[in-house]
Amino acid sequence: MKLSEKASGICPSKTMSLAAMTRKMKQDGVPIIDFGAGEPDFDTPQHIKDAAKEALDNNFTKYAPSAGTEELRSAIADKLKNDNGLNYSYNEIVVSNGSKHALFNAFLAILEQGDEVIIPAPYWLSYTEMVSIAGGVPVIAYTNVMTGYKATEEILKKHLSEKTKAIIINSPNNPTGMVYTKEELEKIADFAVRNDIYVISDEVYEKLIYSGKMQHISIASLNNEIKKRTIVVNGLSKSYAMTGWRVGYTASDVTIASAISNIQSHTTSNINSIALKAAYAALKGDQSCVEEMLNEFKHRRDYIYQRVSDIPYLSCLIPKGAFYLFIDISKLCGEKVDGKKIKDGADVARILLDKYNVAVVPGESFGYDDHIRISFAVGMEDIVEGIDRIENFVKDNF
């Protein structure tokens, strides 16, 4: 028996497999510090959990419309208007099982076999695989530290072809934490409109921006032309500590939204009914929980950035948003540890895990094999201990 070409070409998600592995190691009593998957360590706020309990008590446990209840889709439309200056009606919103599912639906809705999608690197590791499963071809557009790891029109232009169907913009970015300014987005929007391509705008980290002066701008909000060709993707996992609930959504032109909803009606139908009510409570309830988590993330960001910057041979940019530090380890490459030459971030990640009990994600997952990513969505005590161990790794071996 043979697997499909599609399935055999797909690599497992490194972040997910690392999360499963560290969970198992913790259960087995290994004193692991987990800087792997980006998952807020906070509990889901109480009022959101209460809404879920109420949904159960009221027997809100049956099928709902595939794209989500009108109640929740309208709440999302209100959020997009109030937070992002975007006007969508509820029927242009589709609620999916997490932003991941929303993204995948978006690719299925717009890609023909062989269509190219420009993915600026560093990129979140699932984009490439999702594009491939949907029949598209991921085209990686490498950026550099000089542009703050951001895509510019010049970089995108080099990767444009007759087959280009879409570009992915992810701001704040996973794994770099970079945030695009309005001016930068305007140039990318002009480029997309001029070349008649879609923009998939992954905005899942929008609430996590650490500089008061910077603001999250949705590219779709810049003008009507770009709005028509943008699929905004967002979710509640990161802003409301709701990773396990699986609530994400797309906002797009109604034709695209209907296609996404049709696809979903044959695959998963609605997301679980309890989460529909919990998500409504999250969006309509008191927002101070978001602010509190943001403040704590900022505190951790400041600490972790300072500590890592002080470690010789390692370098990184200060993340303006999200909760990751993308560390350049190229100065360690070519050096020997225990008689073996370090080739890349994967070697560093392996040594950190095996000898120092620290889990980090190798940069190859994000298109840069001489980097590692650490997530600071973990408690302060673990951050201090984990960075001490990384510092010891460098001190002991270089």
Is residue 143 involved in binding ligand GLU (CB under 6 A)? no
Based on CB atoms, which residue is closest to ligand GLU, 68 or 98? 98
Of 120, 90, 20, 58, give the one whose Cα is nearest residue 274: 58
Based on CB atoms, which residue is closest to ligand GLU, 69 or 174? 174
Is residue 176 involved in binding ligand GLU (CB under 6 A)? no
- Site size for ligand GLU, by CB under 6 A? 10
Is residue 374 involved in binding ligand GLU (CB under 6 A)? no
Q: Taking the CA of residue 355 as centre, how many other CA atoms within 13 Å lie in the half-sphere pointing to its CB?
A: 15
Taking contact as CB under 6 A, which single stretch among the options 12-20, 43-51, 63-71, 254-262 is the one that binds ligand GLU?
A: 12-20
Is residue 38 involved in binding ligand GLU (CB under 6 A)? yes
Neighbour-count burial of 391, counting CB atoms closer than 10 A to its CB (0-12 exposed, 13-18 middle, 19+ buried)? middle
Q: How far apart are CA 19 and CA 184, in angstroms?
A: 34
SS3 235: strand
The dihedral region occupied by 85, where left means phi > 0, alpha psi between -120 and 50, and beta the remainder, is: left
Q: What is the chain's Cα-based Rg?
A: 21
Q: How far apart are CA 393 and CA 388, in angstroms?
A: 9
Q: Say whether the peptide bond before residue 312 is cis (omega within 30 degrees of 0).
A: no
Of 135, 237, 153, 150, give the one whose Cα is nearest residue 195: 153
We find the least distance from the C-beta atom of residue 173 to ligand GLU, in angstroms, to be 11
Taking contact as CB under 6 A, which single stretch among the options 36-44, 265-273, 351-359, 388-396 is the one that binds ligand GLU?
A: 36-44
Pattern 86-115, ligand GLU, x by CB under 6 A: --------------x---------------
Based on CB atoms, which residue is closest to ligand GLU, 173 or 221? 173
Is residue 41 involved in binding ligand GLU (CB under 6 A)? no
Based on CB atoms, which residue is closest to ligand GLU, 164 or 176? 176
Q: Under 8 Å CB-to-CB from 107, ≥6 apart: which residues?
A: 117, 130, 131, 133, 134, 136, 200
Based on CB atoms, which residue is closest to ligand GLU, 218 or 243? 243
We find the least distance from the C-beta atom of residue 161 to ligand GLU, in angstroms, to be 28
For residues 335-354, which are near ligand GLU according to CB under 6 A? none
Based on CB atoms, which residue is closest to ligand GLU, 39 or 116? 39
For ligand GLU, the binding residue among 22, 96, 174, 264 (CB under 6 A) is 174
We find the least distance from the C-beta atom of residue 120 to ligand GLU, in angstroms, to be 16
* Whether 323 contacts 334, CB under 8 Å: no
Q: In the complex, which residues of this chain contact ligand GLU (CB under 6 A)?
A: 13, 15-16, 37-39, 100, 124, 126, 174
